[in-house]
């Protein structure tokens, strides 16, 4: 049950860019978690949010900036990613942002922040879901041998 929240200045990108960004981010996160992007169950639990902050509310070094900055928060269950997959995901997100949005003058137009929800701290449908439960829900029932 991964989530991605992108926070950006209002009007920084158009609807087509937003749609492309959010779809690519969602699919890429699923890939790095080991889920198939063609799996409807995996897609159903990969939630993304795009939040716009009012113009004039972004600051860099304490100074208002006219150059858009994006904060991308990736939240996964504990154990869904390891150091290697987080590094690969960060690199992939960087490529997506640069492809969809473009590179800021310094190249630092976005931050990627990773957070993990501790095992046993993810609730769904009134129940606690553990990482193994999420994997089982995505994979569905297995045929008997």
In tens digits, the chain (145 residues) has pLDDT values of: 789 999 999 999 999 999 999 999 999 999 999 888 888 988 988 999 999 999 888 888 899 887 888 999 999 999 899 999 999 999 999 999 999 987 754 457 899 999 999 998 988 889 898 888 888 888 765 544 4
pLDDT at 102: 78
Homologous superfamily of domain range 3-139 = Macrophage Migration Inhibitory Factor (3.30.429.10)
Domain extents in the chain: 3-139
Q: Which helix (H) or strand (E) holds 88?
A: helix 83-100
What percentage of the chain carries pLDDT values higher than 70? 92
Task: Quick: pLDDT tens for 92-123.
Answer: 999 999 999 877 544 578 999 999 999 989 88
Nearest by Cα to 33 from 44, 22, 42 = 42
Contacts of 123 (CB under 8 A, 6+ apart): 129
């Amino acid at each position: 049950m991964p989530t991605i929240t992108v926070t950006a200045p209002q009007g920084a990108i158009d609807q087509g860019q937003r749609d492309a960004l959010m779809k690519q981010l969602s699919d890429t996160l699923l890939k790095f978690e080991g889920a198939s992007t063609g799996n409807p169950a995996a897609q159903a639990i990969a939630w993304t949010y795009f939040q716009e902050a009012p113009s004039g509310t972004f600051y860099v070094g304490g100074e208002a900036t006219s150059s858009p900055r994006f904060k991308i928060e990736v939240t996964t269950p504990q154990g869904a990613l390891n150091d290697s997959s987080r590094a690969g995901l960060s690199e992939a997100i960087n490529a997506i942002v640069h492809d969809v949005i473009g590179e800021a003058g310094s190249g630092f137009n976005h931050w990627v922040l990773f957070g993990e929800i501790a095992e046993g701290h993810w609730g769904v449908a009134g129940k606690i879901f553990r990482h193994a439960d999420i994997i089982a829900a995505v994979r569905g029932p297995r045929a008997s041998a």
